[in-house]
A and B are shown apart, each in its own frame.
Chain A
Amino acid sequence: MKKETMVAIFLGLLFGGVVAVFISFKSKDIELAKNKVIAPPPDKTSSPNPSGIEQQSLELTEPADRAIVENNTVRLKGTAAKDSLIVVQSPIKDLIVSNKQEKFDLEFPLALGENSIKIVVYPKEKKFRPQEKFIKVYFIDSEL
């Protein structure tokens, strides 16, 4: 048998194999698509909240609990339910804010040393419970 014939046979087999694999995969996909779905579609599953209104949870992105800062103020950043009442309390400051947007960014003073800060969000929808976060922030003056 000639060399060219051998190469032609080899290439033919290779091409045939590739086409066979492609067809078998494709036919499997078509078969799966034709089958009926037994599980309920995701949009028809029951919602945990029957009223349909979901509460925006209180998230505090900054600062982290037990953060060490070198300034006597800190920015409290996060998200809370729109139109909720945010109460922030520490031994040196009480701050009450009506949260107009979901995102909040509040400047809060710090005392030298340890600052225990409690953040409570009272949602406008009274059926929802207040949400709380408690953090400690350490103001350690860089001069110390």
Chain B
Amino acid sequence: MIIKKIIQNTLLISYLASLLVGNALAQTKTLLPSPEASASPTTVVDRDIQQLKDKIANKVLEIRKKNNKAVSGFVISNDGNTMKINNNGEENQIKFDDTLTKYFKITGAQKKEIKVDDIKKNDYAIVSGVVTDNIITANVVLIDENFLVDSGKITEINKDSYNVKVLTSDKDTYSLDFETNTKQFIINIKTLDLEKAGFSKIKEGDTVHFVVKKTGGEKNNNYSAVKILIIPQEYFIK
């Protein structure tokens, strides 16, 4: 009975002791002077303010990057303050910022700064900016050409009009006109190197990868080919 009491008391005392020691240690830690306190208070405050400023700037940049979005489409309207663009039925509203937004026209690899009034209806615009309430405040507007890149099997060749019909995996049929400036390449099935090709080398059943320029006014999926790359059907039966 006495031993039992001793054990009980020991446990109680050790518990209380541990509580007291823990509290004391915690208080000592907070009361210790920090190395920063040895510096003059003004320097510390200035440094803290600067750190806070940096943190806020980084956060703002992070949020801007997170909300930064790029959209593209044909211009429906432009009143100098806002613009509407449409890409295959997807409409986006763009807001211009007098001090922030820059406008460029891309020609080949060159870019030229333009004014907001130079953006006309049916131009193809690429806009990068911050999205707020489904409206994009534009940082940059680029006026460029719209390209379509696709591939499929050649189903028909018209040697008189230099035209081929291509069926894509999405079951779309494209009619491609070969112009004198159309870049034509064919894959060498042994080396997989690209070689220049002529229209006469193309056969029905070949696979073709193509790039065409879209203006928005095309009819019956008929385009002038900018670039084509042929994979001969022999590659698939070798």
Chain B positions within 8 Å of A136 at CB level? 72
Query: Is there contact, CB below 8 Å, between B149 and A117?
Result: yes
Query: Is there contact, CB below 8 Å, between B194 and A134?
Result: no
Query: Is there contact, CB below 8 Å, between A116 and B149?
Result: yes
Query: Is there contact, CB below 8 Å, between A132 and B209?
Result: no
Does B211 interact with chain A (Cβ within 8 Å)? yes
Query: Is there contact, CB below 8 Å, between B68 and A96?
Result: no
1/0 per residue, CB under 8 A from B, across A91-129: the answer is 100101010000000000001111011101010001001
* Interface residue total, chain A, C-beta cutoff 8 A: 28
Query: Is there contact, CB below 8 Å, between A94 and B144?
Result: no
Interface of chain A: mostly helix, strand, loop or mixed: strand
Does A79 interact with chain B (Cβ within 8 Å)? no
* Interface residue total, chain B, C-beta cutoff 8 A: 35
Please judge, given known A-B contacts A89-B149, A116-B149, whether A68 and B192 are in contact too, CB under 8 Å: no
Interface of chain B: mostly helix, strand, loop or mixed: strand
Does B231 interact with chain A (Cβ within 8 Å)? yes
Query: Is there contact, CB below 8 Å, between B151 and A120?
Result: yes
Query: Is there contact, CB below 8 Å, between B149 and A90?
Result: yes
Does A18 interact with chain B (Cβ within 8 Å)? no
Does A63 interact with chain B (Cβ within 8 Å)? no
1/0 per residue, CB under 8 A from A, across B143-155: the answer is 0101111110000
User: Which residue of the partner chain A has the closest CB to B113?
Assistant: A144
Does A74 interact with chain B (Cβ within 8 Å)? no
Query: Is there contact, CB below 8 Å, between A112 and B111?
Result: yes
**A130 and B25 alpha carbons, distance in the complex (Å):** 69
1/0 per residue, CB under 8 A from A, across B53-88: the answer is 000000000000000111010000000000000000
Query: Is there contact, CB below 8 Å, between A96 and B128?
Result: no
Does A140 interact with chain B (Cβ within 8 Å)? yes
Query: Is there contact, CB below 8 Å, between B144 and A113?
Result: yes
> From residue A95, how far is it (CB to closest CB) to chain B in Å?
9
> From residue B172, how far is it (CB to closest CB) to chain A in Å?
13
Known interface pairs A89-B229, A94-B229, A136-B72; 4 further A-B residue pairs with C-beta atoms within 8 A, sorted by A's residue number: A91-B149, A112-B106, A118-B150, A132-B169
The 4 A-B pairs with the shortest beta carbon distances in the complex, nearest first, are: A138-B70, A91-B147, A118-B149, A116-B149
Interface residues of A (CB under 8 A from B): 66, 68, 85, 87, 89-91, 94, 96, 98, 111-114, 116-118, 120, 122, 126, 129-130, 132, 134, 136, 138, 140, 144
A-B contact pairs, 8 of them (CB 8 A): A68-B70, A85-B235, A90-B149, A94-B227, A140-B70, A140-B140, A144-B102, A144-B139
